[in-house]
């Protein structure tokens, strides 16, 4: 199985590149952000609770997200070729839980791909998207908060995967196709 973690700051291109990776490698996509936005749209209890955090640019509590991922992974078809985790793990606690879960199922993670993009470019991409996305977190104030939270709470996940020897840094600047070519070369 090819179990990839697509990682990086808000707006680095995790969702965009996931679509291309899935097409090429036939993987299943788990985006915790998208799962939560669906819950918000459906106005479920989980969605209403999650929105309190998301709209302020904060992370939702680890327990909430670990439950969501555990359920999703356990419902996978037996013939699944692999998974892309997009937006998860976002804390070292989540990473430890993911490793435990996947190792326990005999489906270990393969690699974390760290898409590196400057803050200036991230802000520009997210502000552009904010004009049409309808996302409660695509405004300048919340974007800045998301970048702060990424720097303090999420970047330690990089070191954790470096220590497991499952880490690849990829330059996330350039066209969508250029970035994908770099990822594909690394995965092959």
* Residue in 59, 73, 95, 170 binding ligand AP5, rule: CB under 6 A: 59
Size of site (CB under 6 A) for ligand AP5: 30
Q: Between 103 and 124, whose beta carbon lies closer to Mg ion?
A: 124
Pairing of strands 167-171, 111-116: parallel
Ordered DSSP codes for 113-172? EEEE--HHHHHHHHHHHHHHH--TT-SHHHHHHHHHHIIIIITHHHHHHHHTT-EEEEE-
* Residue in 15, 53, 145, 187 binding Mg ion, rule: CB under 5 A: 15
SS3 for 58? coil
In whole angstroms, the minimum distance from the beta carbon of 92 to ligand AP5 comes to 12
Residue span 11-50 as binding mask against ligand AP5, x where in contact by CB under 6 A, dash where not: xxxxxx---------------xx--x--------------
Write out the H or E segment, with its range, that includes residue 28.
strand 28-31
In whole angstroms, the minimum distance from the beta carbon of 31 to Mg ion comes to 6
């Amino acid at each position: 199985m090819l179990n990839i973690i697509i990682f990086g700051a808000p707006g680095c291109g995790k969702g965009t590149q996931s679509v291309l990776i899935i097409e090429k490698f036939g993987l299943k996509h788990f985006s915790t952000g998208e799962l939560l936005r669906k819950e918000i749209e459906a106005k479920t209890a989980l969605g209403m609770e999650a929105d309190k955090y998301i709209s302020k640019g904060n992370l939702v509590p680890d327990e909430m997200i670990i439950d969501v991922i555990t359920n999703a992974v356990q419902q996978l078809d037996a013939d699944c070729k692999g998974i892309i985790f997009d937006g998860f793990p976002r804390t070292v606690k989540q990473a430890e839980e993911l490793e435990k879960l996947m190792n326990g199922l005999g489906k270990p993670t393969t690699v974390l791909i760290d898409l590196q993009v400057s803050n200036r470019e991230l802000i520009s991409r997210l502000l552009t998207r904010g004009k049409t996305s309808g996302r409660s977190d695509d405004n300048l104030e919340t974007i800045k908060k998301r970048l702060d939270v990424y720097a303090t709470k999420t970047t330690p996940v990089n070191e954790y995967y470096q220590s497991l020897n499952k880490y690849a840094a990829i330059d996330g600047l350039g066209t969508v196709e250029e970035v994908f070519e770099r990822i594909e070369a690394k995965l092959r």
